[in-house]
Structure 1
């Protein structure tokens, strides 16, 4: 399960790169003041891109996108955080979002039996400086000490079967979308089953962190 990601790219560059996608992007709560970081963990806030509110066509599909800062994970029925959500066999139409990152981490049993911590691996995109993980956002979430903007909203990362780049390290992988699929994911015009799939071989690069 993916419980840590990185977003080291400056948000200004991400915004400029997004402009090349021809998907209008607005920031209804102001441009986020978020530092570039190596580690974003469960319950941390980070940038989420979703279909723009009140920006729909006659079929109800969004024509633009908005960037907001939201918390990663919401409390599940047992109180444990829902930070990953299986996409397999589900028809996911509502609450789609994208989480821009430039890397994510997985952990494996240490090769050194004397090591106290698991081996840590960073996965980055083989072609792009940053990429988006498919997610879902939810409103009406009971979050203690939530900020005024986005109070009661949070997101989770979608997972699927692992592609060949991930399989040696984990039995699941987050859904890594191609940039050509961002619009179809956000506006709901493409079924989730067509996009929530393992990443093809060579999509991701891996390096040891420790």
Structure 2
């Protein structure tokens, strides 16, 4: 079983039954915590990676705070939607390799949108996958579904098998007044989503987590449009779930 372990308390990883607890911060010191995944564990069906808990890093920077987030990927888990229309500056947890220790995978809070000082004063939330390589600064955005707005309607898009997934992302370090931030890598929309918009975030399945973070598989094999029937699209405009996938000819 995979555990989130405290880097300052390595004994937390010795028992699969032990729940990590926050460690008091020594005066004037930052804390950093990481997610460690045990090798050789492949739970078939709905669960591929099971994180007992994740600790968000504490930093002197005001936009990060220390707290434990339960991440139990199970059929009864509360949804963690990704809103494609969230404003620039919205904060969300991302998963990445620790830049100070590449042997660790950590979850940190980051701001959505690139640093405008590197793009003529503009901040961008997305980056196209076509014709690009991403040799470093890769990250993942955990999600149970993503939302999109078309006109006055809102839609929820989830995987057909009900599994949670990740969106491929690229993070940028904090610099000056701009905090740690990320952009979502996009691909051409699959047939279900293409009825509403041209692109969506690149889906990284649980079995592909380390392939994306570590660059062990070429981008062309990971950043791909999912095949037909990968998604279920629900109309959530009125607050009720109305499947719309079958309302259109295939």
**SS in structure 2 of the partner of residue 81 of structure 1:** coil
**Structure 2 portions without partners, runs of 5+:** 1-19, 21-34, 39-47, 59-65, 71-77, 238-250
Question: Contact (CA 8 Å) 2:141, 2:169: kept in 1 or not?
Answer: yes
Question: Contact (CA 8 Å) 2:97, 2:139: kept in 1 or not?
Answer: yes
1:184 Cα deviation from its structure 2 partner: 0.6
2:232 aligns with 205
2:112 aligns with 72
1:182 aligns with 209
Does 2:57 align with 1:29? yes
Question: Contact (CA 8 Å) 2:81, 2:147: kept in 1 or not?
Answer: no
Select the residue among 156, 167, 173 that pairs with 2:183: 156
Report the aligned-residue RMSD.
Answer: 3.3
TM-score (norm 2): 0.60
For 1:34 and 1:44, locate their aligned partners in 2 and report how far apart those are by CA, in whole Å: 18
1:39 Cα deviation from its structure 2 partner: 6.8
Which structure ranks higher in relative contact order (CA pairs < 8 Å, sequence separation ≥ 6)? 1
Question: Contact (CA 8 Å) 1:48, 1:98: kept in 2 or not?
Answer: yes
Does 2:91 align with 1:45? yes
1:196 aligns with 223
Deviations 1:160-184 (A, max 9, x none): 1111121111111110111111111
1:142 Cα deviation from its structure 2 partner: 4.5
TM-score (norm 1): 0.70
Larger radius of gyration: 2
**SS in structure 2 of the partner of residue 165 of structure 1:** helix
For 1:92 and 1:134, locate their aligned partners in 2 and report how far apart those are by CA, in whole Å: 11
**Structure 1 portions without partners, runs of 5+:** 1-11, 57-62, 110-117, 145-151
Select the residue among 123, 140, 144 that pairs with 1:98: 140
